[in-house]
Amino acid sequence: VQLVESGGGLVQAGGSLRLACEVSGFTFNDYAIAWFRQAPGKAREGVSCFNTGDGATYYGDSVQGRVTTSSDNARKTVYLQLNNLKPEDTAVYYCAGRGNAPYYDGPYYRCSVLRETDFHSWGQGTQVTVSS
């Protein structure tokens, strides 16, 4: 199982970025893909979660209204569109994945839970820096 992030960079406040998480090594059906971020000196924070099976989506309070998630099943890629970026959005952004029902065993995982320890596969991260 491999997840690879891309799309990070330096942007001015108010700008936009689109992050991508390309996955491989597992069936893309019914997979929950989450984005977390970690700023220097701070705990990792859940940003969004997207279930590839039913399209269920959840966004964290700190980014609500400024981000959207989409997927390209053919490319096995999930995107995170970040708009109206603020300096406090500066962080390393990680994508993480876990299997979900019904294709994978176990109960259905609700994206609104968005708990770091629930995700077993992680990418290396991509840096997002927002200048004021």
User: Binning pLDDT at 50, 70 and 90, where does residue 19 land?
Assistant: very high
The predicted pLDDT at position 28 comes to 79
- Phi first, then psi: give them for residue 11, nearest 5 degrees: -145, 150
pLDDT tens readout for residues 27-73:
878 899 999 999 999 999 999 999 999 999 999 999 999 999 999 98
What average pLDDT does this structure show over 93-97? 97
CA–CA dist 88, 118 (Å, integer): 25
The predicted pLDDT at position 1 comes to 83
Two structure tokens written together for 33: 């893909």
pLDDT tens readout for residues 103-124:
888 899 999 999 999 999 999 9
